[in-house]
Chains A and B, each alone.
Chain A
Amino acid sequence: MSTAVRLPSAALGVRPTGRLRRRVRENITAYGLLCAALLCFAGFSWYPIVRGVLLSFQQVNFVTAPTWVGLENFQKLFADPQFWEAWVNTLLFTGLALVFGFAVPFAIAVLLNELRHGKAYFRLVVYLPVMLPPVVVALLWKWFYDPGPGLFNAALHAVGLPGLSWLDSPTTAMLSLVLVSTWANMGSATLIYLAALQTIPGDLYEAAELDGAGLWGRLRHVTIPQTRFALLVMLLLQIVATMQVFTEPYIMTGGGPGDSTVTVLLLLYKYAFFYNDFGTASALSLLLFVVLGVFGLFYVRLTRRAD
């Protein structure tokens, strides 16, 4: 906000009315330009946030007015064995996705940063899967995972290994989903790390080398500390993103076999659109929001400090 408005107009030697009128007119124009955005945010972002919280404590059936039910929705969730399974599965997915999706892109980025040739090609291809619609990726990999004529078992057989049942077995289904999602998403993380690596000043490596640091020493004492911020941010973003996994289990397993790949979002979808129990679905959203909100706050604090 301009300080000029608050200064006594005499000090500026401007007629108060002209200045004020211009300021008012500018404000009107500004809010005129803002009004479409304000309406969209109000209707489809701010209002749903409030409504989501209220819905968590209500029962809605679209015939009569919503009724307040206190914590009943939450009690219903806690009594549902699938609720606990969904959280365990989601945490398992997030954990496994971190093992692959966090470490591997960083390693790849470090490696790519050392290469003096073909960088444009590597950057291009690692990002190709990111550009595919997630539905295409899920359906394509479902076909790859086919234990019969699928690509993966064919590859395993070709090198003399026994095939796996991939999506068809409760022990490997979740891992299969993690692989697909990592393949589809690691391009962004890799390229963001690569950009961060390129900001490391070369003299730091020189200095470390003069101090007698070997390859590992330089990696540990220069590369990783220098990219710590990018690593942390990506870690948080990835946790938030993977905990909302939906498309892969929805299309590839439908939550099965058994309940082995039911995730929180899949359960939420079921409550809302199979049972039409929007109150309980909202309660589940609220829980998810609280859990993810913690990571979100970390993220905000981190980026604030960097500014």
Chain B
Amino acid sequence: MRTLVSESQLRTPRGKAVYWTVFVVVAVAFTAAFVFPLIWMVLGAMKTAPELARVPPTVLPQQANLGTYVEAWNFMSLAHFFLNTIIVVIGAWLVQLAVDVPAAYALSKLKPKLGNVVLGMMLATLMLPASALLVPTYLTITDVPLLGWNLVNNPLAIWLPGAANAFNIYLLKRFFDQIPGELIEASTLDGAGPIKTMVRVVLPLARPVLGVVSILSIVTAWKDFIWPLLVFSDPQAQTLSVALQRFAPDTPVNLLLAGLVLASVPTIVIFLIFQRNILAGLTAGSVKG
């Protein structure tokens, strides 16, 4: 496809020279800026604490010491905090799907009375900066209206507000809207009720958008910091992110770095596997030129 610089311009000797110079500069700069810091973190986690204190720093660890990871795992009881985080993340994901998928389906295909008002009120929350709601939502968590529950230190404090996700509903509804009505009608004529139609006909077709929503919700929940910081006041209930920043001041640097590496592995692995879906989800929301 034609871009700013034309192919013919690139094919001239001068064009070729400039192109390859720029290419090498970009390749080196990108690797230095975005890959090298991660390599430096992984290498740092293999050095000993005295080696890390050296000025100037050593480039390669004097001896590759993978034992740091085991030591960090035990020192910060990372197994416990990994488990906490996994419970929070998987729960947040499942609750979001269980709550948002039927809601989007109802709004898209059943079109109940006042459905547009409900949708509008949901989408309006997208405009609100999350931080403006921190305090009142926190107070709501400490004493859930009508039920009187105190959800502090309870994963429900993450799951329930997380399910009030207008962006998910928007993405899902937009996808459901594109599913032709004839399919729904055919299923209804076969005697299937709306719920059966949703499960048997619509959801299998919606696999791509369910994938995008799932990945987004899992990655967002794994990365989340400020909300878990507020609702998990009990150190034992904390997620990995919250625990790591609590441990940071009193942990030897090499162990802390190993902890950081371990905490990054899940999202990086998810990214490498689902790169295509994640980048699709990135541009799905808004911007089209």
Q: Which residue numbers of A lie inside 8 Å of B, CB to CB?
A: 1-2, 26-27, 29-31, 33-34, 36-38, 40-41, 43-49, 51-52, 55, 60, 110-118, 121-129, 131-136, 138-140, 142-144, 148-149, 151, 154, 157-158, 183, 188, 191-192, 195-200, 202-203, 205-206, 209, 215, 218-219, 222-223, 226-227, 229-230, 233-234, 240, 243-244, 246-247, 251, 265, 268, 272-273, 278, 281-282, 285-286, 288-289, 292-293, 296-297, 299-300, 303, 306
Contact, CB under 8 Å: A124 / B112? no
Sampled A-B contacts (27; CB under 8 Å): A1-B111, A27-B112, A30-B112, A33-B110, A34-B103, A44-B164, A48-B139, A49-B128, A60-B139, A125-B34, A127-B278, A128-B34, A131-B268, A139-B244, A140-B37, A143-B253, A144-B37, A148-B53, A149-B53, A191-B283, A200-B289, A202-B1, A205-B4, A206-B6, A288-B132, A289-B132, A296-B127
0/1 string, B216-236, CB within 8 A of A gives 1: 000100110110001000000
Contact, CB under 8 Å: A199 / B289? yes
Q: Smallest CB–CB gap between A180 and chain B, Å?
A: 10
Is B3's beta carbon under 8 Å from chain A?
yes
Q: Smallest CB–CB gap between B75 and chain A, Å?
A: 15
Is B66's beta carbon under 8 Å from chain A?
no
Is B144's beta carbon under 8 Å from chain A?
yes
Contact, CB under 8 Å: A48 / B55? no
Is B60's beta carbon under 8 Å from chain A?
no
Q: Once the chains are docked, how many angstroms separate the CA of A80 from the CA of B279?
A: 44
What is the predominant secondary structure among interface residues of chain A facing chain B? helix
Contact, CB under 8 Å: B132 / A52? yes
Q: Once the chains are docked, how many angstroms separate the CA of A272 from the CA of B271?
A: 36
Q: Which residues of B contact A246 (CB under 8 A)?
A: 131, 226
Q: Which residues of B contact A143 (CB under 8 A)?
A: 44, 253, 256-257
Contact, CB under 8 Å: B136 / A192? no
Contacts A44-B140, A188-B282 given: A133-B121 contact, CB under 8 Å? no
Q: Once the chains are docked, how many angstroms separate the CA of A243 from the CA of B161?
A: 22
Q: Once the chains are docked, how many angstroms separate the CA of A140 from the CA of B34?
A: 13
Q: Which of A46, A114, A126, A131 is B3 in contact with, Cβ under 8 Å? A: A114
What is the predominant secondary structure among interface residues of chain B facing chain A? helix
Contact, CB under 8 Å: B4 / A282? no
Q: Which residues of B contact A46 (CB under 8 A)?
A: 121, 125
Is B194's beta carbon under 8 Å from chain A?
yes
Is B148's beta carbon under 8 Å from chain A?
no
Q: Smallest CB–CB gap between A281 and chain B, Å?
A: 5
Contacts A31-B106, A136-B244 given: A196-B288 contact, CB under 8 Å? yes
Contact, CB under 8 Å: B271 / A131? yes
Q: Once the chains are docked, how many angstroms separate the CA of A157 from the CA of B260?
A: 26
Q: Which residues of A contact B6 (CB under 8 A)?
A: 205-206, 209
Q: Once the chains are docked, how many angstroms separate the CA of A281 from the CA of B138?
A: 12
Q: Once the chains are docked, how many angstroms separate the CA of A243 from the CA of B113?
A: 38
Q: Smallest CB–CB gap between A11 and chain B, Å?
A: 21
Which residues of B48-83 are within 8 A (CB) of A? 52-57
Q: Which of A36, A133, A198 has the most CB of B within 10 A?
A: A133
Q: Which residues of A contact B195 (CB under 8 A)?
A: 29, 33
Additional A-B contact list (16), CB under 8 Å, known A26-B194, A43-B145, A127-B278: A29-B195, A34-B107, A37-B103, A41-B166, A114-B5, A127-B279, A131-B268, A131-B270, A135-B225, A158-B56, A200-B3, A205-B2, A246-B226, A272-B134, A288-B132, A289-B132
Q: Once the chains are docked, how many angstroms separate the CA of A128 from the CA of B223?
A: 13
Is B208's beta carbon under 8 Å from chain A?
no
Contact, CB under 8 Å: B135 / A149? no
Q: Once the chains are docked, how many angstroms separate the CA of A233 from the CA of B139?
A: 33
Contact, CB under 8 Å: A288 / B129? yes
Q: Smallest CB–CB gap between A165 and chain B, Å?
A: 14
Contact, CB under 8 Å: A112 / B289? no
Contact, CB under 8 Å: B55 / A303? no
Closest to B257 in A: A143
Contact, CB under 8 Å: B245 / A135? yes
Q: Which of B3, B23, B116, B288 has the most CB of A within 10 A?
A: B3
Which residues of B90-132 are within 8 A (CB) of A? 98-100, 102-103, 105-107, 110-113, 115-116, 118, 121-122, 125, 127-132
Q: Once the chains are docked, how many angstroms separate the CA of A127 from the CA of B52?
A: 28
Contact, CB under 8 Å: B125 / A41? yes
Q: Smallest CB–CB gap between A127 and chain B, Å?
A: 7
Q: Which residues of A contact B37 (CB under 8 A)?
A: 129, 140, 144, 151, 183
Contact, CB under 8 Å: B135 / A30? no
Contacts A26-B110, A118-B27, A196-B289 given: A149-B121 contact, CB under 8 Å? no
Contact, CB under 8 Å: A265 / B131? yes
**Which 10 A-B pairs rank lowest in CB-CB distance, beginning with the nearest?**
A202-B2, A37-B103, A30-B112, A48-B136, A30-B110, A289-B132, A52-B136, A33-B102, A44-B161, A33-B106
Q: Which of A55, A144, A191, A230 is B135 in contact with, Cβ under 8 Å? A: A55
Q: Which of A34, A116, A122, A195 is B30 in contact with, Cβ under 8 Å? A: A122
Q: Once the chains are docked, how many angstroms separate the CA of A289 from the CA of B223?
A: 24
Q: Smallest CB–CB gap between B279 and chain A, Å?
A: 6
